[in-house]
Amino acid sequence: MWIQFNNAFLSIVENRDNKLELLVRARIKGDIEEIFPEADVFEDESADYRYRAFISKAKVAERMTLKMKEINYGNFKNSVKETNRKNAYGNVWMELRKLQK
């Protein structure tokens, strides 16, 4: 699952070795900590997502619920402050828009 926040982009997949955990991954240093400040983040320079943390499914679900309750904007793209992130998200938006019929 890819999740775009206005201050972080995460890829979340199942931990192959522990079905009660998820592997939360990021390409930008600090993105995991923006959403999970208590996470024990490690770096894998050979991985497609360099920054990683194992987090329980329950904690991820709890935090996603909280983040949804915190939404206070009417336009997601305009809520993104960091220029490089805003541009990247805009590119994703444009590509996905092509799928709309």
In percent, the amount of the chain with pLDDT more than 90 equals 99
Name, in order, each residue with C-beta under 8 angstroms of 68's C-beta and a sequence gap of 6 or more. none
pLDDT digits (tens, 9 = 90+) for 58-68: 999 999 999 99
Task: Report the predicted TM-score, pTM, of the whole model to 2 decimal places.
Answer: 0.93
Which CA distances in Å does 96 have to 8, 87, 89? 19, 14, 10
User: Given this model, what pLDDT does residue 101 score?
Assistant: 80
Encode pLDDT of 5-39 as tens digits. Answer: 999 999 999 999 999 999 999 999 999 999 999 99
Dihedral (CA of 100, 48, 25, 32) sign? negative
**Domain residue extents for the chain:** 2-72
For residues 55 and 25, the answer to whether their CB atoms sit within 8 Å is no
List the Cα angle 91/95/98 in 5-degree steps: 145
- C-alpha to C-alpha distance for 18 and 72, rounded to whole angstroms: 35
